[in-house]
Amino acid sequence: MNIIDRRLNPKSRSLGNRQRFIRRAKSEIREAVNDAIKNRAVTSIDGKEPIRARIKGVKEPVFGLAPDTGEREFVVPGNKNFRAGDRIPKPPKGGAGGQGQEGSPDGEGQDDFVFTLTRDEFLDIFFEDLALPDMLKRKLKQEKSDKPMRAGYATEGPPAKLSYARTMRNSLARRVALRRPTEAEIAALEEERVEAEAAGDAERVRAAEAEIARLKRRRVLTPYLDPIDLRYRRFETLPQPSTQAVMFCLMDASASMTEPLKDLAKRFFMLLYLFLTREYEAVEVVFIRHTTTAREVDEETFFRGVDTGGTVVSTALEKMREIVTARYPVDEWNIYAAQASDGHDFSDDLGVSCDLLRGLLPICQHYAYVEVSSPHMMGASMESALWGAYKTVAEEASNFAMRRISAPDEILPVFRRLFARAREAA
């Protein structure tokens, strides 16, 4: 008998099977993910609430006898008052003679069940085949963090880093090479001596004793473990390029940005945030809202607060430039910006905005502009003032992308296209 504690075994034994299953049921799972994006409340979009996919398509057919053909005899327990020859009317459909219930109570058969995705799996599928453009800085990064990496073995080091396997391997090699006598050899000689003593052969006894003394001396001279055997695991600290990003959310907060429009914008920002957190260790978010003036605000105010006034886009861009200069040195941070607006701007301001934007683009990894509008305002011919102005910038810069959104279900496709395009350009 043998008792083994398996509780500490690696947990993810079925992970490989799970991944294969997700591969198999991909189309259905992807559908569920897309539905979730379309229909869920803004706050639950980040995948913290599990995504459930109803899986139908993965069948495991086997040859089986059809229940509704032929005749079969079977035995059931619990007879109360039936006699041979009695006839029991069948229930309208399904099992006969009380032969259990077909299917489980909530109608989930073997091939149709609810599958729950983890957050990571959700995000994987969600952002499948999207890539962040220009993920690493073009300029050399400041080395921010050091990470220890294995770098072979050293002859010196702290005891905690002693490599037993290496050390003993050296020790063994040295002992073999120097012919260090083993305990067994000495024991054999001792026996020989005892034997010789018993036989009264003084010559042999002396020879054995001399040999024993020689071997023992040799054992002392070639120690079991010599300092030259010792090997220590060596670590070198390698500088890690910092992978941190800051994301600027710029939004027009003037009265023309209605609540539904803000909601659209928020969903877009949320997606971008999720996307960035997957690629970078640390992501900071800066919220800037503007009317005729711009200010940095917290998230709540950003989305919920109400301001009144006109719209001067350039103030927000100016504010962003200030913040970058003050807090986010360009050589340490990956800078992303997303601007949402309904496209209104004072016509005087358009030129200023474009110039500011041209100034910002070189320091940004990517700059996305989304124009949100109500569905009835969407018209192919209707171009907003800001859209027209930004279009000229878009033609010059590869890391600037612009799109329009008018309904929640357009967000994901737009998001995909934004990053797909940027990738192609890169």
What is the contact surface with other proteins in residues (CB under 8 A)? Answer: 1-7, 9, 11, 13-14, 16-25, 55, 58-80, 82-90, 96-100, 104, 110, 113-116
Element (H, E) at 221: helix 202-221
What minimum distance in Å lies between the beta carbon of 274 and other proteins? 24
Q: Which amino acid is at 90?
A: K
What minimum distance in Å lies between the beta carbon of 394 and other proteins? 41
Q: How far are the Cα atoms of 36, 52, 126, 414 from residue 117, in angstroms, in the given order?
A: 12, 6, 11, 24
User: How many Cα neighbours within 13 Å face the side chain of 165?
Assistant: 2
User: 86 is written with which tokens?
Assistant: 């009695």
What minimum distance in Å lies between the beta carbon of 113 and other proteins? 5
372 within 8 A of 405, measured Cβ to Cβ: yes
What minimum distance in Å lies between the beta carbon of 129 and other proteins? 18
Question: Whose structure tokens read 């012919």?
Answer: 179
253 within 8 A of 289, measured Cβ to Cβ: yes
CA gap 422, 291 in Å, rounded? 29
Q: With respect to other proteins, which residue has the nearer C-beta, 91 or 241?
A: 91
Q: With respect to other proteins, which residue has the nearer C-beta, 88 or 184?
A: 88
Q: With respect to other proteins, which residue has the nearer C-beta, 59 or 139?
A: 59
Length of the chain: 426
Q: With respect to other proteins, which residue has the nearer C-beta, 73 or 424?
A: 73
How large is the C-alpha radius of gyration of the chain? Answer: 38
Q: With respect to other proteins, which residue has the nearer C-beta, 61 or 379?
A: 61
What minimum distance in Å lies between the beta carbon of 63 and other proteins? 5
Q: With respect to other proteins, which residue has the nearer C-beta, 16 or 158?
A: 16
Q: With respect to other proteins, which residue has the nearer C-beta, 23 or 138?
A: 23
Q: With respect to other proteins, which residue has the nearer C-beta, 74 or 164?
A: 74
CA 27 to chain centre: 21
Q: With respect to other proteins, which residue has the nearer C-beta, 24 or 206?
A: 24
Q: Which of 321, 148, 326 is nearest to 240 (CA)?
A: 148
CA gap 248, 320 in Å, rounded? 7
CA gap 252, 306 in Å, rounded? 11
Question: Whose structure tokens read 């495991």?
Answer: 60
What minimum distance in Å lies between the beta carbon of 411 and other proteins? 29
What minimum distance in Å lies between the beta carbon of 15 and other proteins? 9
Q: With respect to other proteins, which residue has the nearer C-beta, 9 or 27?
A: 9
What minimum distance in Å lies between the beta carbon of 93 and other proteins? 13
Question: Whose structure tokens read 């171009």?
Answer: 383
55 within 8 A of 18, measured Cβ to Cβ: no
User: 139 is written with which tokens?
Assistant: 């300029």
Task: State whether the Cα torsion 401-404-409-411 is positive or negative.
Answer: positive
What minimum distance in Å lies between the beta carbon of 33 and other proteins? 16
First to last CA, the chain: 64
133 within 8 A of 422, measured Cβ to Cβ: yes
**Three-state secondary structure call for residue 152:** strand
Burial track 261-284 (b if 16+ CB lie within 10 A, e otherwise): bbebbbbbbbbbbbbbbeebeebe
Q: With respect to other proteins, which residue has the nearer C-beta, 4 or 41?
A: 4
CA gap 387, 392 in Å, rounded? 9
Which residues make Cβ contacts (< 8 Å) with residue 159, sequence separation at least 6?
Answer: none
What minimum distance in Å lies between the beta carbon of 283 and other proteins? 32
What minimum distance in Å lies between the beta carbon of 55 and other proteins? 8
